[in-house]
């Protein structure tokens, strides 16, 4: 599903003394099937931005097109159920949203709610468990008796079981160790590849932008300050530095190494001068 923001602004608590303009006239087009990573300082508007895509927050001005859906302050008769089936949002710590007695019931909740039969939902549960790297033997277990990492995978399986066409991810790897974090990111990339899904990921981890993004959006103070592929965005090191968005030391090391030895096969965004 293509996603198009047309002059979108959003103000929290509009008309009060606490009014805060969190998005300021955003115009952006995100192609269907792409993996977009959104970076920016805390408070720059990243979460507000992605929550507009599934209608959780409505624009105060402008409109958004998500495939056939059109979202604006005026839209009254939106079929939110159908929109939410197509566009899933995964918050930080998705395991906090687990609530059923068994893993199977938790994962099947979405598919059943969206009209699949019990048998179809079960097939989806098995497929989704495989996708997140968990054995089907845990289907009868309580999700609350699993490890933290497994709980997060079950919660993600529950979201993927509805086969969303658009996946909005707000820091889905928060508090995971580097290996767990990479495994989860690899899963999302695989989901994008096999389902042709559009993914928008909000993250503080620059390496996710380097490793997974087809395109990167840099936000500051409710505006998009950079937007492009990795070379275009990481080539703007002065802007990134001014926003405190520098490549982590490990990537800088590779960058220096690449400069020293002129390795032709090292991506160019590692090779630029400081
Ligand atoms: P980010 O995800 O980049 O940290 P947010 O989208 O959460 O940024 O916030 C953007 C701005 O909007 C911040 O100044 C934040 O304090 C403000 N904000 C976010 N949510 C609310 C809310 N529910 N009520 C009032 N202000 C909010």
DSSP 22-69: EEEEEEEEE-TT-EEEEE--TTSSHHHHHHTTTTSS--SEEEEEETTE
Mean pLDDT by 10 residues, the chain (274 residues): 97 94 98 97 97 95 95 81 92 92 96 95 96 95 94 96 97 91 94 96 92 95 96 89 78 55 55 49
Can you tell me the distance from the alpha carbon of 223 to that of 204, in angstroms, rounded to the nearest whole number? 17
Half-sphere exposure of 170 (CA within 13 A, CB side): 18
What ipTM was estimated for this complex? 0.99
DSSP state of 172: T
Query: What's the gap in Å between 163 CA and the centre of ligand 1?
Result: 29
pTM confidence score:
0.91
Q: What is the reported pLDDT for 74?
A: 86
Residue closest via CA to ligand 1's atom 15 equals: 43
Q: Helix and strand tally (H, E) in the chain?
A: 10, 10
Any atom of ligand 1 within 6 Å of the Cβ of 52:
no
Q: What is the reported pLDDT for 235?
A: 86
Any atom of ligand 1 within 6 Å of the Cβ of 47:
yes
Phi, psi values for residue 156, rounded to 5°: -65, -40
Q: What is the reported pLDDT for 75?
A: 79
Considering only the C-alpha atoms of the chain, give the largest distance between any 2 of them, rounded to a whole number of Å. 60
Residue to mutate, 22, 91, 169, 218, ligand 1, most ligand atoms under 8 Å from C-beta = 22
Q: What is the reported pLDDT for 28?
A: 98
Residue closest via CA to ligand 1's atom 23 equals: 12
Any atom of ligand 1 within 6 Å of the Cβ of 118:
no
Query: What's the gap in Å between 250 CA and the centre of ligand 1?
Result: 30
Q: What is the reported pLDDT for 33?
A: 97
Residue to mutate, 9, 20, 169, 218, ligand 1, most ligand atoms under 8 Å from C-beta = 20
Q: What is the reported pLDDT for 219?
A: 97
Query: What's the gap in Å between 23 CA and the centre of ligand 1?
Result: 9
Residue closest via CA to ligand 1's atom 12 equals: 22
The partner residues of 166 in beta bridges, in order of sequence, read 87, 198
Q: What is the reported pLDDT for 260?
A: 52
Q: SS3 breakdown of the chain: % helix, strand, coil, rounded to 5?
A: 40, 25, 35
Q: What is the reported pLDDT for 249?
A: 62
């Amino acid at each position: 599903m293509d996603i198009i923001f047309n002059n979108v602004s959003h103000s929290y608590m509009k008309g009060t003394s606490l009014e805060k303009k969190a998005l300021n006239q955003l115009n952006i087009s995100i192609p269907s099937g792409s993996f977009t990573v959104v970076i920016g300082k805390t408070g720059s508007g990243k979460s507000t931005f992605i929550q507009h895509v599934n209608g959780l927050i409505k624009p105060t001005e402008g409109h958004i097109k998500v495939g056939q859906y059109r979202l604006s302050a005026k839209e009254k008769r939106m079929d939110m159920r159908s929109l939410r089936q197509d566009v899933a949002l995964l918050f930080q710590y998705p395991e906090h949203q687990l609530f059923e007695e068994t893993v199977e019931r938790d994962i099947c909740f979405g598919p059943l709610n969206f009209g699949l039969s019990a048998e179809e939902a079960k097939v989806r549960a098995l497929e989704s468990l495989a996708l997140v790297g968990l054995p089907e033997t845990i289907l009868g277990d309580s999700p609350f008796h699993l490890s933290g990492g497994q709980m997060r995978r079950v919660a993600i399986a529950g979201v993927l079981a509805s086969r969303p066409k658009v996946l909005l991810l707000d820091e889905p790897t928060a508090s995971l160790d580097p290996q767990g974090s990479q495994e989860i990111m690899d899963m999302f990339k695989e989901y994008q590849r096999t389902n042709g899904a559009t993914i928008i990921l909000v993250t503080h981890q620059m390496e996710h932008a380097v490793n997974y993004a087809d395109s990167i959006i840099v936000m500051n103070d409710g505006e998009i300050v950079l937007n492009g592929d990795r070379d275009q965005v990481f080539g703007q090191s002065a802007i990134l530095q001014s926003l405190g968005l520098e490549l982590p030391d490990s990537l800088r090391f590779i960058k220096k190494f690449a400069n020293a030895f002129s390795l032709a096969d090292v991506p160019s965004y590692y090779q630029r001068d400081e």
